[in-house]
Amino acid sequence: MNKPIRRIAFLAMLMFALLLANGTYLTVVRQDSLDANPYNRRVRDEEFAQDRGPILVGSTAIASTKPSDDRFRYQRVYSDGPLYAPITGFFSYDHGSSNLESSYNSELAGTDGALFVRRLIDTVTNKAPQGATVQTTIDAAAQEAAAKALGNQKGAVAALDPTTGAVLAMVTSPSYDPNKIASHDVTAADKAYDTYINASGSPMSNRAAREIYPPGSTFKLVTAAAALADGRTPDTMIDSPSRLRLPGTTTYLPNENNCGGTRITLTRALDVSCNTAFANLGLSLGQDKLRAQAKAFGFDARHLDDVGGAASQFPDDLNPSQLALSSIGQFDVAASPLQMAMVSAAIANDGKLMDPYLVSTVRGPDLSVIDRHTPTELSQPMTEQNARALQQMMVSVVQQGTGGNGAISGVEVGGKTGTAQSDPNRKPFAWYTSFARSGDKSVAVAVVVEDADIPRQDIAGGRVAAPIARATMQAVLG
């Protein structure tokens, strides 16, 4: 009789031990992943009952919470929602969160480990817990100027501080209103989300950091940098025929405008954005040197994980005709506006590329600093001497070439236009990337306008995108 009882007792003890082990495993190992699971309604209910911390631009909250009289205690509110949606993202009951609302969720919700003592004090004093404050690097004037200049055109603007990597503006059009997705009317929020996600203009796409496009002639800056690194100078003469037969094909690459002769200097080639000159330059450099230069500028790596930044691409295993096209930013070369702003920023910063960042500090409810970003050098894609040479070449593009619409009176501005064709059946992308500096202030900008209603020629980027870059730079420089 005792033997069966002992067996049952042993089995019960084993089951209790397994239960305790599973509880310990869930608490210690899986708690974070379970808390982050979007289907965990208990966590979501708890988060919506908390005073979530604000996201700031300067001293202004672009995302904040206010008391709510419904089943949730607090409502998330976005001032200028569409303007800052690519940065804040949304905080939704059914659809989770995105962008900074997602990447800084634990800090904003007040559940981050760095806030443990604060939570303990709140519990003891019976005070409602508060989330941390996330301070962005965005310049409100630049953000507003870029959005106004871009208007209703489909496209994006990215602006950086070349000396630190701080993101000064990130605008995308069309955009969406995160307030509608954050609504406590879950049915209305779901309908708004479905409308946005299925809209033909893709308003929820962050075109500045998460979308990549053929950069067209703006990529000639990378080719020029590789040429300078290989021993060329701004005065090096380059073959620039009126058209160039692509190696191994019967296809000819034309120039969209008069290059000024069949042999021109590298500076002149950049001024007039001469396709055949840069294709010949790329062929003489070879794909390895061109690819290495692109990677040094940040291609083939992701940047701004806070908002899900996508990696720009330079293709592998190119044949000669593909290399010629890649040298002018066509074939399978693809870049985000952020990436092309990084190229201009590195050139403007005497060849030093700083890692772009969007959040400068995170502060607790008592304003104590939880985390502070330190500007970090990402790479040195150019020597100081070559960078300064390319700076002057870009200034020449603005003063004497296709980039004149980016000029600012009394300010040193360097730029590069571009027009890129991704599909013969669609309108081209108009590009402009530039830098400007005045006194102790500097800025680098890249603009892309999709489906530009213009002729396909390199100067088109100057017509459409350059004024947008100019407005953004003026706002930063003041």
Give me the domain span that covers residue 315: 216-359+377-477
In a domain, residue 296? The reply is yes
- Does the pLDDT value for residue 47 go beyond 60? yes
Q: How confident is the model at residue 458 (pLDDT cuts 50, 70, 90)?
A: very low
Tell me if 129 is assigned to some domain. Answer: no
Indicate whether 309 belongs to any domain. yes
Mark 258-295 as b/e (b = at least 16 C-beta within 10 Å).
Answer: ebeeeebbbbbbbbbbbbbbbbbbbbebebebbbbbbb
252, containing H or E segment: strand 252-254
Does residue 106 sit within a domain?
no
pLDDT at 18 over 90: no
**CA torsion, ordered 79, 81, 83, 85, to nearest 10 deg:** 130
Domains: count for the chain: 1
pLDDT for position 22: 78
Q: Is residue 66 part of a domain?
A: no
What mean pLDDT do residues 153-174 have? 98
pLDDT tens by residue, 242-255:
999 999 999 999 99
Active site residue 217: yes
Integer Cα distance of 347 and 223 in angstroms: 13
What is the model's pLDDT at position 41?
61
The pLDDT of residue 265: 98
Q: Which of 103-117, 321-335, 402-416 is least confident?
A: 103-117
**Which pLDDT tens digit goes with each residue over 220-243?**
999 999 999 999 999 999 999 999
Per-residue pLDDT at 36? 57
In a domain, 437, yes or no: yes
In a domain, 280, yes or no: yes
Q: What are the structure tokens assigned to 233, written together?
A: 């100078």
From the list 217, 240, 360, 434, the catalytic residue is 217
Q: Please give the mean pLDDT across all residues of the chain.
A: 91
The enclosing domain of 225 has a CATH number of 3.40.710.10
Contacts of 78 (CB under 8 A, 6+ apart): 62, 63, 84, 85, 88, 90, 177, 178, 179, 182
Residue 273 lies in a domain: yes
